[in-house]
A and B are shown apart, each in its own frame.
Chain A
Amino acid sequence: MIRPDAPVLLEIRDLTARVEDQPILKGVSLTIRAGEIHAVMGRNGSGKSTLSKVLAGHPAYTVTGGTVLYKGEDLLSLEPELRARAGLFLGFQYPVEIPGVSNLEFLRVATNARRAGKGEEELDTFAFEDLVRERLQVVQMDPAFLERSVNEGFSGGEKKRNEILQMALLDPLVAVLDETDSGLDIDALRIVAGGVNHLAGPDNATLLITHYQRLLDVITPDYVHVMAAGRILRTGGKELALELEERGYDWVDAELAALERTPAEVG
């Protein structure tokens, strides 16, 4: 939902970043307002996953330039956990297994960390159980998953549902979902997308990182950005995704080549 007067939640300006010595992001700018759903599309290696990790503060990525304001404040100086407590959420492409740590306990500690960030009281174990059981329905998850270790032995689809369950519990202002659709069969995709749609509201925003149109068939974006070689090449409405689907990514290469020739003029 586009409302030009809605408050800006995330403002990325000329962001550059590298991993080890390899520059990946080469000047990304993007403004996200409350109520909006953005999709970033692009080939593997275009830098779209890096963007999500940099936003969440992954230690392997070094920011070399640019700024990111989150609700008007500098995001990049915050530790990852403080970003999360402030309401930034990253849905992982490959959710990590953590043997020995109970999913329920993990969800409770995470939820309470976020609640503390919002100035809300901690939930005790009973209140939390009630909450988690209610939120499980958003992703149609079996409560048995709560008793297991975090993501351990979960199928690809179960892991992604567990991500959306976390999103449902953490009540983020900006949710960055990295390839949430990868590895999902059509039923799981519908459930996950249903969860995302359910959670999207006028006060929060969603940034979908995806490779394929099929996620955008079930979650309608307000903006689509095409990313290549660490930059956003083009921004449009949802029809841009359809155009990509139709024409493939080859035209991106042509535009990119033009850009490389005259980097100063194009911006």
Chain B
Amino acid sequence: MASSATVGDLVSQPYKYGFVTDIETEKIAKGLSEDVVRLISAKKNEPAFLLDFRLRSYRQWLQMEEPDWATLGHPPIDYQEIIYYAAPKQQEKKASLDEVDPKLLETFDKLGIPLSEQKRLSNVAVDAVFDSVSIATTYREKLAEHGVIFCSISEAVKDHPDLIEKYLGTVVPGNDNYFAALNSAVFSDGSFVFIPKGVECPMELSTYFRINSGDTGQFERTLIVAEEGASVSYLEGCTAPMFDTNQLHAAVVELVALDDASIKYSTVQNWYAGDENGKGGIYNFVTKRGQCRGDRSHISWTQVETGSAITWKYPSCVLQGADSVGEFYSVALTNNRQQADTGTKMIHVGPRTRSTIVSKGISAGHSSNSYRGLVQLGPKAVGARNYSQCDSMLIGDQAAANTYPYIRSQQPDARIEHEASTCRISADQLFYLQSRGIAFEEAVSMMVSGFCRDVFNQLPMEFAAEADKLLALKLEGSVG
């Protein structure tokens, strides 16, 4: 019969964002050394404290070993084969968008992130990062009226060095782990957000990361600080062209929430995942951590991870302040030969701290998808509570799903709940829906969004529908 056989053709849905922008790029020679670290710092005219931070981190990195405990496999990464700095050739950051190279604006247009005044999203401020540098940030003036600082981290180093010195590296220290140390040594750009006391950020903030060069690593650094009673919702998106080689992406994100502050951080990660045989794709080794420093503060991570050949990422919350709240909502989808080892750490330090973990892993093709999470309750975390739910969905019979929950509690009366489940989209379920008049693609999409609903509900509205579509697209053809 003329059936779902055609579905196979749909799988090979090409990666939409795989194009390369032809633009003159300033790159430094490949390889990593103390000189390279100094060179990056010098290119950015950084103050001494930052160069010190970089050098300290670099020296510690030299002493460290690449971690191998994750359920991931990849050929060794040659850190001397990577270019650590690449920037499109244009002088200094432009005061006005009119002066930005039109090719760059066009690139972001193509990615669905228009930056120009006429076309930009009406309620979202965007910082656009291309390879190693931020090329534009929209709505800066409007945000400044509210006292909100939203700019690239390089600019923040110049314009607000006191804030950078005060907060950078305080959540993720320079020697936190192998990849964080590497990032601390060579980070190029990223976003900086500062919401002053009592201010509710008037619009959604967003950074869009684009890797363009083929042999460049991307090491961005993001720092978000919400002072007492402040709140902000921030979203990052990522894409990269298709190259046969693997590219390294090692980012660090630090969040600081003071008393009664609230930070909501959402990620839609769609780096190039490699082809169906696992050739090419981004190695995504990311350290993300938020510190609920103040009482009653609130940090929420939501991630939709669909891209990258390898994802190694554990957005975490350190719940220091009394009654602070940490949340982690994750959808991780792997297809073909993708590998993901992702989860969270909820470190309960203060009394009555609460955390919620909802993780949904979807594995299709020959991929491998692991949830790894730690819930830790320290000696002062009296009355702390955690709820974790980890669900896996398998599509086809070649994919793997693993769950590694770690619980360490020094609180005898703590309430820690963990639920886990595994399910499979079966041909029979799809046939059942089809036999009720529902088309094959819609049936898959219904089941996947049903599975992910708890997480999608957490995304900013503009992006929830987008995430739904993205998943459906990524899965087309992998069933049946």
Does A79 lie at the interface of the complex (its beta carbon under 8 Å from any beta carbon of B)? yes
B427's nearest neighbour on chain A, judged by CB, is A59
In the complex, chain A residues whose CB is within 8 Å of the CB of B431: 56-59, 80, 96
Contact at A110–B429, with CB atoms within 8 Å?
no
Contact at A100–B447, with CB atoms within 8 Å?
yes
CA distance A95 to B432 in the complex (A): 8
Does B450 lie at the interface of the complex (its beta carbon under 8 Å from any beta carbon of A)? yes
CA distance A102 to B436 in the complex (A): 15
Does B3 lie at the interface of the complex (its beta carbon under 8 Å from any beta carbon of A)? yes
CB contact under 8 A between A84 and B434, given known A98-B447, A101-B446, A106-B446: yes
Name the one of A57, A59, A113 contacting B438, with C-beta atoms under 8 angstroms: A113
Report B422-434 CB contacts with A as 1/0, cut-off 8 Å: 0100111101111
In the complex, chain A residues whose CB is within 8 Å of the CB of B432: 92, 95-96, 98
Name the one of A77, A79, A170 contacting B436, with C-beta atoms under 8 angstroms: A170
Chain A, range 91-149, C-beta contacts under 8 Å to B: 92, 95-102, 105-106, 109-110, 113-114, 117, 149
Does B435 lie at the interface of the complex (its beta carbon under 8 Å from any beta carbon of A)? yes
Which of B436, B439, B446: most chain A Cβ within 10 A?
B436
Contact at A56–B435, with CB atoms within 8 Å?
yes
Does A166 lie at the interface of the complex (its beta carbon under 8 Å from any beta carbon of B)? yes
Contact at A99–B451, with CB atoms within 8 Å?
yes
In the complex, chain B residues whose CB is within 8 Å of the CB of A170: 436-437
Contact at A110–B436, with CB atoms within 8 Å?
yes
Chain B, range 2-33, C-beta contacts under 8 Å to A: 2-4
Does A225 lie at the interface of the complex (its beta carbon under 8 Å from any beta carbon of B)? no
Contact at B436–A63, with CB atoms within 8 Å?
no
Number of B residues with CB within 8 Å of any CB on chain A: 26
Contact at B450–A81, with CB atoms within 8 Å?
no
Does A259 lie at the interface of the complex (its beta carbon under 8 Å from any beta carbon of B)? no
Contact at A113–B480, with CB atoms within 8 Å?
no
Chain B, range 54-81, C-beta contacts under 8 Å to A: none
CA distance A102 to B427 in the complex (A): 19
Does B312 lie at the interface of the complex (its beta carbon under 8 Å from any beta carbon of A)? no
In the complex, chain A residues whose CB is within 8 Å of the CB of B436: 81, 84, 106, 109-110, 113-114, 166, 170
Does A76 lie at the interface of the complex (its beta carbon under 8 Å from any beta carbon of B)? yes
Does A60 lie at the interface of the complex (its beta carbon under 8 Å from any beta carbon of B)? yes
Does B453 lie at the interface of the complex (its beta carbon under 8 Å from any beta carbon of A)? yes
Shortest distance between the CB of A155 and any CB in chain B (Å):
18
In the complex, chain A residues whose CB is within 8 Å of the CB of B2: 77-79
CA distance A98 to B429 in the complex (A): 7
Does A208 lie at the interface of the complex (its beta carbon under 8 Å from any beta carbon of B)? no
CA distance A83 to B438 in the complex (A): 11
B436's nearest neighbour on chain A, judged by CB, is A110
In the complex, chain A residues whose CB is within 8 Å of the CB of B434: 57, 79-81, 84
Name the one of B428, B438, B450, B480 contacting A100, with C-beta atoms under 8 angstroms: B450
Task: Beyond A98-B433, A149-B450, list 8 extra A-B contacts (CB 8 Å).
Answer: A57-B3, A59-B3, A59-B427, A79-B439, A83-B435, A98-B450, A106-B446, A110-B437
The 10 closest A-B pairs by CB, nearest first: A100-B450, A113-B437, A110-B436, A84-B437, A80-B434, A101-B450, A96-B432, A85-B437, A100-B451, A81-B434
27 CB-based A-B contacts, threshold 8 Å: A57-B1, A57-B3, A58-B431, A59-B427, A60-B427, A76-B1, A78-B2, A80-B431, A81-B435, A81-B436, A81-B437, A81-B438, A90-B435, A96-B428, A96-B431, A97-B429, A98-B447, A98-B450, A100-B447, A106-B436, A106-B446, A109-B436, A109-B446, A110-B433, A110-B436, A110-B437, A113-B437
